[in-house]
Amino acid sequence: MKLIEMTVNDYISLLASNAPAPGGGSASALSGAQGVGLITMVAGLTIGKKKYLDYTQLCEEAIAEGMSVKNELVAQVDRDTEAFNLVSAAFKLPKETDEEKAVRRKAIADATLVATEEPFRTMELALEGLKVADRLVGKFNTNCGSDFGVGVLNLRSCAHGAWLNVLINISGLDEATAADFKSRGSAMLAEIDAMSDRLYNAALEIL
């Protein structure tokens, strides 16, 4: 059964157990899905309100874009755990002969790249979710200010959690690839932090 198909209680129980997966990467993706889900909810609760009729089209676009990001983040919950399982399986390959060792090394390298790419994609999706939120600032139902702020915090947490999972995996990559991930990821995280700070403060101002 896919993680995302489990009940909330069963998922949390599995997360809290001594099973190595799901772990931080999957939890980060779920946080992001919740975050952008809240942003689309805010847009939905703005549509139809007389005070915000001028922003109907904007909110409809935000919902469409937000739902697309949400669906990808939901998929990342399982993809991150699947990537971890690939790495675990690669390390369990036999290593008695030189040929087996070569096969094992390549399998570990390939799996580690996937295990880095997945949380990196989660970071990218968190940024996309924040950009949806950014377009709504000053144009959404202020009764949803707290929901908007919580959505932003969830997306920020998603990005930082995913970044930790990138960092723990890049040590297993070749130097050039690791440096590329670290450079692009650091720049993206700086953008995420600046944007999420501004959006959170925007939420505070209307409460």
Query: CB within 8 A of 184, min separation 6: which ones?
Result: 120
What is the tens place of the pLDDT at every residue in 157-203? 999 999 999 999 998 899 999 999 999 999 999 999 999 999 999 99
pTM recorded for the entire structure: 0.95
Q: What is the pLDDT of residues 116-130, one digit of tens each?
A: 999 999 999 999 999
| Alpha carbon distance 26, 58 (integer Å) | 31
Cα–chain-centroid distance for residue 135? 19
Per-residue pLDDT tens over the stretch 12-27: 999 999 999 899 999 9
Q: What confidence score (pLDDT) does residue 23 get?
A: 93
User: What pLDDT is recorded for position 60?
Assistant: 97
CB neighbours (10 Å) of residue 11? 18
Q: Residue 199's pLDDT is what?
A: 98
Tell me whether residue 170 is exposed, middle or buried, using C-beta atoms within 10 angstroms of its C-beta: 0 to 12, 13 to 18, 19 or more. Answer: buried
pLDDT of residue 106: 93
DSSP string, 138-149: TSS-GGGHHHHH
pLDDT tier at 98, thresholds 50, 70, 90? confident
Write the pLDDT tens digit of every residue in 51-73. Answer: 999 999 999 999 999 999 999 99
Distance between CA atoms of 41 and 7, rounded to whole angstroms?
Answer: 21
Residue ranges of alpha helices (H) inside 92-174 are 98-136, 145-170
Instruction: Give yes or no for residue 1 having a pLDDT over 90.
Output: no
Question: What's the whole-number mean pLDDT along residues 105-118?
Answer: 95
**Closest Cα partner for 124 from 199, 67, 185?**
185
User: What domains are there in the chain, each with its CATH number?
Assistant: 24-205 (1.20.120.680)
pLDDT, one tens digit per residue, over 140-166 is: 999 999 999 999 999 999 999 999 999
Please choose, from the candidates 111, 123, 43, the residue with its C-alpha nearest in 3D space to the C-alpha of residue 83: 111
